[in-house]
Chain A
Amino acid sequence: MKPLSLPARNALLALLITLAIIGSIVYAINYLDQQRLAELSAIQNQLATDTLSLETQFALLESAPCEDIASGTEFSREVSDLGDRLGIAEGRAGNRDPQVLQLKKQYTLLQIRDYLLTKKLSSSCGLKPVTALYFYSNDPQACTTCDKAGYALSYLRQTYPTLRVYSFDYDLDLSALKTLIAVEKIKPQFPAFVIQDKVSYGFTHLDDFQKLFPKALFKSATSTATTTKK
């Protein structure tokens, strides 16, 4: 058999090496994505422990729960951080990825717990945090203004850090979420908000939206914030 000429040999070798480089990059990117999801799981597990710990602490300190408010604030910050990471994972893997869906359910549970704890702390300690529950749908047909609403909420929570935003995918198959929807009497109209215990629907403009919040919020300067999805 006639040996290959130098150009032919190099062309063939170059093809193999190029495919190997591309394969390695694809593998590395996928590996990193998996690592990121695994990291999310670890954070989630940690948060689940923290939740239990906080609730236990709360029960122990029932007589003076307000002394440990700092723990609750830290917890909210971690939930917010988790939400940001989950948002990126959802963007990379897609919102139908089974692992992402599972993480999203756990995250939703954490948000509900944080919301309940916040309410409990505020009633026990005389605090008045401004909270906003935001219900969206990933179906663009069902919600044409969810993108705008989510963007406006992101802006508000970064500009006014005392605002706590909890965002929920209305269609997520999670019994606790369905219960929250039932308790708050949220109809399948999007976007839906519960701001200071008042339910409202639709989003048009930031100026109109801001009227739903107490004026005191816009004079505040310090902060805790959770995340805003969608």
Chain B
Amino acid sequence: MDFSATYFAYPFIFLGLYFEVFMLLTFLSDPARRRRYRAVSTETPNVAIIVPCWNEETTIDGTVRSLLALDYPKDKLKIVLVNDGSTDNTKAVMDAYVGNPQITVIHKANGGKHSAINIGIESAGDAEFIGCLDADSFVATDALREIIASFEDPRVASVTPAMSVFEPKSLLERMQNAEYIFGIALRHTLSAVNGIYVTPGPFSFYRKSVLNEIGGFRHAYQAEDMEMALRIQKAGYEIDNAVRARVYTKVPKTVPKLIKQRTRWTTGFLRNVLTDYRGLVGNPKYGVLGLMVLPLGFVAVLGGVSLFGIAFFMIIREIVHVFSLSAGVPLSYSLMPRFSIEWFYAALSFVTVIGFVVTTISIFFMMVGRRVSNTDSGLVIGIIGYVFVYGLIAPFWLIRSIYDVATGVERAWR
């Protein structure tokens, strides 16, 4: 084993474990517990939900139907469908809803998701709260009442939902589902210390008065939801989480599409935080967000790439070493795995044990996320995939993101 290489991994391992322990403590704290047991709202303020849409002919109908099925007074809920210059049959699907008193349909030239949401906000009328829902996502009937309950505190400018994957079938979808459910637990926990840094497209809500104050959505390097969250935080407001407001979203079905999506997310994070929101990083004024979440976001990107690099280097070196030793010894002997109880103990190193601890805490959070959000979804295959496969794919989008940010490359949305 190359000790110098493994030493390089130690700071990342320490910070990963530290963050998880911090999250565990916060999860067990009173503010998090209060959020978990918060009652569903009986208040029904005026709400507008905007559905920005670009080429979503196959999913938009289901999305709208799920919104119409929400348990909320129909005269208090307005749905704004915005067709952002779709080139498929989206327009026709949307036009089928023209005439529905709850629904407003808008067609516009393609200008990006942020422009579609902004036009929707202009059409929101007297809504007190504005929600967004991506056109490939579907909500649970009680989700809106759960969201509204979280706006009770006037300092809360935005509320995020509990996102999971819509009917995950393949291993890749199940892995993403495990990750999303992990995200439910993390977002729920971070909300207790106002540490949320992104208000995701599927069913995040905003207080209209705050949007009026801080302005509408921006292009923000194709990460308008992250930029808005950071702007809300910068303005001194809070972002809460409604852990039982379930929303189900469709996710990439192939590895290249997943890498493309995550590259967009990661470059969006890096570019926003490195430019307009650099002042938040390491700033005690922004509490957990400034001192922990944003700095550790960078650490996660660098750590993911570094750990992958170290592992890759060690594997290649081992292969080269075995080949250099062979000198005529058949390859079948070199490649044949040899196990014994002694080898098992020999593998019990500091890195493997602490890796086991970190993974166990992550799995605990996944199970907690599913439980506190009442998400009805199998997790076993997803967790296995997440633990053993995800780490092999993630470095590719991390490396690509660093490359894109360093060279200024901007890629298309899809």
B18, B193, B327, B345: which contacts A151 (Cβ < 8 A)?
Answer: B327
- B87 interface contact, C-beta 8 A: no
Closest to B22 in A: A14
A14, A17, A25, A159: which contacts B353 (Cβ < 8 A)?
Answer: A25
Number of interface residues of B (CB under 8 A): 36
Contact B25 A13 (CB under 8 A): yes
Contact A14 B345 (CB under 8 A): no
B291, B329, B348: which contacts A206 (Cβ < 8 A)?
Answer: B329
- A218 interface contact, C-beta 8 A: no
- A49 interface contact, C-beta 8 A: no
Q: In whole Å, how far is A44's beta carbon from the nearest beta carbon of chain B?
A: 16
- B405 interface contact, C-beta 8 A: no
Contact B342 A85 (CB under 8 A): yes
Given known A22-B354, A32-B348, A148-B325, contact A14–B18 (CB-CB < 8 A): yes
- A6 interface contact, C-beta 8 A: yes
A7, A85, A152: which contacts B328 (Cβ < 8 A)?
Answer: A152
- A11 interface contact, C-beta 8 A: yes
Contact B329 A22 (CB under 8 A): no
Given known A22-B354, A29-B350, contact A152–B329 (CB-CB < 8 A): yes
Q: In whole Å, how far is B360's beta carbon from the nearest beta carbon of chain A?
A: 11
Residues from chain A with Cβ under 8 Å of B340 in the complex? 84
| Interfacial residues, chain B to chain A (CB-CB below 8 A) | 14, 17-19, 21-22, 25-26, 29, 31, 192-193, 195, 287-288, 291-292, 324-330, 333, 340, 342-343, 345-346, 348-350, 353-354, 357
Contact A32 B350 (CB under 8 A): no
Closest to A88 in B: B346
- A92 interface contact, C-beta 8 A: yes
Contact B354 A91 (CB under 8 A): no
- A42 interface contact, C-beta 8 A: no
* Chain A stretch 61-84: residues in CB contact (< 8 A) with chain B: 84
Contact A22 B17 (CB under 8 A): yes
Q: Which 4 A-B pairs have the closest CB atoms?
A: A206-B328, A14-B22, A14-B21, A151-B325
Closest to A145 in B: B327
A10, A25, A152, A206: which contacts B29 (Cβ < 8 A)?
Answer: A10
Contact A203 B345 (CB under 8 A): no
Given A7-B195, A11-B291, output 5 extra A-B contacts at Cβ < 8 Å.
A10-B25, A11-B292, A14-B18, A152-B327, A205-B328
B17, B328, B348: which contacts A29 (Cβ < 8 A)?
Answer: B348
Contact B21 A17 (CB under 8 A): yes
Closest to B354 in A: A25
Closest to B31 in A: A6
| Interfacial residues, chain A to chain B (CB-CB below 8 A) | 5-7, 10-11, 13-15, 17-18, 21-22, 25-26, 28-29, 32, 36, 84-85, 88, 91-92, 147-148, 151-152, 155, 158-159, 203-207, 209
Residues from chain A with Cβ under 8 Å of B18 in the complex? 14-15, 18
Closest to A17 in B: B21
Sample (5) of A-B pairs whose CB atoms are under 8 Å apart? A25-B353, A32-B348, A148-B325, A152-B327, A159-B333
Residues from chain A with Cβ under 8 Å of B330 in the complex? 155
Contact B21 A21 (CB under 8 A): yes
Query: How far, in whole Å, are A206 and B349 apart by their CA atoms in the complex?
Result: 34
B22, B333, B343, B357: which contacts A11 (Cβ < 8 A)?
Answer: B22
Contact B349 A32 (CB under 8 A): no
B25, B328, B357: which contacts A14 (Cβ < 8 A)?
Answer: B25
Contact A29 B349 (CB under 8 A): yes
Q: In whole Å, how far is A26's beta carbon from the nearest beta carbon of chain B?
A: 6
Closest to B340 in A: A84
Q: Which of B288, B329, B353, B354 neighbours the largest number of chain A CB atoms within 10 Å of its CB?
A: B329
Q: In whole Å, how far is A6's beta carbon from the nearest beta carbon of chain B?
A: 6
Closest to B358 in A: A21
Contact A10 B22 (CB under 8 A): yes
Residues from chain A with Cβ under 8 Å of B342 in the complex? 84-85, 88
Closest to A156 in B: B329
Query: How far, in whole Å, are A91 and B345 apart by their CA atoms in the complex?
Result: 12
Contact B327 A203 (CB under 8 A): yes
Given known A18-B21, A29-B350, contact A10–B26 (CB-CB < 8 A): yes
Residues from chain A with Cβ under 8 Å of B22 in the complex? 10-11, 14
Q: Which of A10, A36, A152, A158 neighbours the largest number of chain B CB atoms within 10 Å of its CB?
A: A10
Residues from chain B with Cβ under 8 Å of A205 in the complex? 327-328
